[in-house]
Amino acid sequence: MSLRRWRPTRDVLGIRDEMNRLFDNFFAGLPERRKGLLEGEWAPTIDIAETENEIVVTAELPGITQDDVDITITEDALILKGEKKEEKEVKEKNYHRIERSYGSFQRSVALPAGVVADKAKASYKDGVLHVNIPKSEEAKPKQIKINVE
């Protein structure tokens, strides 16, 4: 058995290097959108669902008026742009913690099927945006009857 001399500086630096590697590996696995959120950027959360006849997109936009949101739809993508404005009427308040994010955002999501962009409808209520985008006839499922002989 060999004896090894204890060197506190080397050992502490080794632990630091291992911790840095651990955090680097953890954050490397995060999607790009989540990395931005950790750095203070803001983006609305989005759900995309598909029915037989349409694509339904739901986005949470708390604290945003419908006039502050722009929606663009192409044949294969939905783009949401907007701005969450900070309340400026704060006077003589000493904040202890600020977790709400403000600023401009842009979300672009791929749509899963061919759509008819010019027939899309959007509604906005209580900070939730619903966008219904009809599918093109080619994208709708077709049912074929089988004749048994």
Question: Quick one: DSSP state of residue 118?
Answer: G
14-39 pLDDT per residue, tens:
788 888 888 777 766 655 545 444 44
Which residue, among 99, 120, 103, has the nearest Cα to 64 in the 3D structure?
103
The whole-angstrom separation of Cα 12 and Cα 125 is 55
> Does residue 13 register a pLDDT over 50?
yes
Give the integer Cα–Cα distance in Å for 61 and 72: 16
3-state helix, strand, coil in the chain (%, to 5): 25, 30, 45
pLDDT value of residue 39:
47
- pLDDT tens per residue, range 110-130: 887 688 888 999 999 999 999
For residue 57, name the pLDDT band (cuts at 50, 70, 90). Answer: very high
Res 69: pLDDT: 92
Mean pLDDT of 2-6: 70
Look at residue 37 in the predicted model and tell me its pLDDT: 46
Q: What is the DSSP string of 21-44?
A: HHHHHHHHTS-HHHHHHHTT----
